[in-house]
Structure 1
Amino acid sequence: MTQQGTLGVAVIGTGRMGADHVRRINDVISGARVAAVVDIDAERVKAIAGGIEGCAAYTDPAQAMADPGVDAVLIASPGPAHEAALLAAFEQDLPVLCEKPLTPDAASALRVLEAEQKLGHRRVQVGFMRRYDREYLKLKALLASGELGRPLMLHNRHRNASVLPGFTNAMLINDSVVHEMDVTRWLLDQEITAVTVLRPKASGNAPEGLDDPQFVIFETDGGALVDVEINVSCGFGYQVQAEAVCESGTARIGDIHDLLVNTAGRWGGTIAPDFVERFEDAYDRQVQAWVDATRRGEVTGPSTWDGYAAAAVCEAGVRAQAEGHRVEVELIDRPALYGS
């Protein structure tokens, strides 16, 4: 795809995230169009495609990828379907933006990693959108500058007002804390080597059967300690905060106060209701960056290695949670394709 051309994107999965990405490509970003939509619900994709000029509807991802109008793929289907879609994209040598998780477990992520290496070049950007959030980018730049010295600790808070029925303890790690796993690796430029999970007495707001909140601790190969408060039934909104404690100072993000109101003896602002609103700009920036890089013939952003590493840390986290003790992370050596 040349810089001048418009990127034809096949969006696989048209649930909440997929539909939002269709809207984003159609109405928000530049340089791309929705060339195809894919979902097992044939009526849904027909309805979506019918509202977009030149958009085809498919129920089979491989058929969509063979469409001559498709230049790239955005995977937003459920995690268990990602491996097959990624391998199909590799067969067509198509660039991919894959929503997290890369795959649901380390073994399948490793298969994807090995398949991409056989291509001899990167094709996948994983959708860890916090790397595109303006505040996280500022924190990353500050830490990379060395102005505050070596990072010693990283404190994270990750709070949801509530979760849907059926949310499990393992999902606390795989669906929520996975974001802190990725930003820890990215912000500190270190790998996570061990995970410990501690649990206070469950909140009265927690759904039956869910041990919420929990306190997760990471150790890194650079000697840093990282903690995560995961609290998915706090009741008051969606909050993501991080504070780096370094040798020569601290830096904190997540205290967003776009508008402060003083009235009737009180002051305050608003808290985002969910992740879609809180990280809307980050999602926009992520997809635009992917489109721009793809049109230049490049692949940037979180890699298949990052997706695999997150899956490996998740597995250690779920074990630590279930078994009640510290669990070491098992990682292969990083392949040369993904840098040092």
Structure 2
Amino acid sequence: MKSPAILTALSLSLLAADAAAQEVIYTNFIRQFQTPTNVVWDASSEVSPADSRESDLAINPGGARFELWTVANTSPPTSRLLDTAYVGTYVPVATVTIRSEDPYIIPRTRVDRPFYVDIEVTGLLNGASDPAASKAVKLTRHMQSYGVGGTGINLDRTQASLVSQSFITTNGPQTITVPAMGTAVTGPGSKIRGEERFTIFSIEDSRIAPDGVTYVVPETQIASKLIQIWPMADGFITGISSNQLVRYQLPQLTLTLNDLYPSSTTYVQVYMGEPQLGTQGRIVPGSAITINDSVPVSRVLVIDDYDEVFDEDGRWTMELVTDTPFGVERLAYVSFDLDRTIKVNGSFVTIE
């Protein structure tokens, strides 16, 4: 049989791929895997956003899996699996959605922030004569580190480590909360970078078709989603030291910025007085950097000629601040005294 609605289930992911095309050109295609023959067929060479069409191959009693891929015209080209769907005679339907505080098109978060996995299963049966494959699905959780400085490009996901697995036997929605620092990706504390993947599989099954042929259907992926875990940023201000007395002209500053979050604005601000979290100061000219990328970024900035933000002498605090989807946070600070008063010592002599 053909399934006229099978590609409709993937349309939301197509919209996501189209939105990403504002910066990079993406080509989307769907690949069909026949079960259990393992015949692979590119269902379409190029798929438009919100597309819908019949499957090119008839779906036999063993079922079929569909994968939605997008390929970016980067150098070298990069591909990403956006969504999957499995169709069979009585295979349950499942969806996996991952949410975080970052609304980016591909789920991502920072290692110190929580995220949420929404799972919904429908179509499970519970009758005494119903086959075992119709009564449960398996949920697995995998993790994989990108390594030091890694970005996930050309990652071999077959090397991911299994963290846990369980069986779902009831229909309906459920949410898994992964707490801050609760990610299973291994790494040196706040500098962890990698991904976690949550996948739902059907149960292995065998069935006899009307023509008498026995189909052995292996465990098959029904739905899967991953979230990228990025490190916490850090930074340093050099060129001026704590409690330094600055006379006349402000010194040259060097800002060392490491692992800035892919969606962030980082800057230096100053205000009078001792350091106090949450204070809004004046932004130092030339210190602001906005990142709108898919991976963390590191930079070194040199700042000169910023005296204009200091309108009077006294005690000042300088802060390195980063603004991300998770809030505004201070990376570094230094407090110092500014005295630009010029004193002239001398005497007046009169001649009579």
Same-fold call, TM > 0.5?
A: no
**Which structure's residues are more often strand, by fraction?**
2
Higher Cα Rg: structure 1 or 2?
Answer: 2
**Which structure's residues are more often helix, by fraction?**
1
Asked which structure has the greater RCO (Cα within 8 Å, sep 6+), the reply is 1
Q: TM-score, normalization: structure 1?
A: 0.23
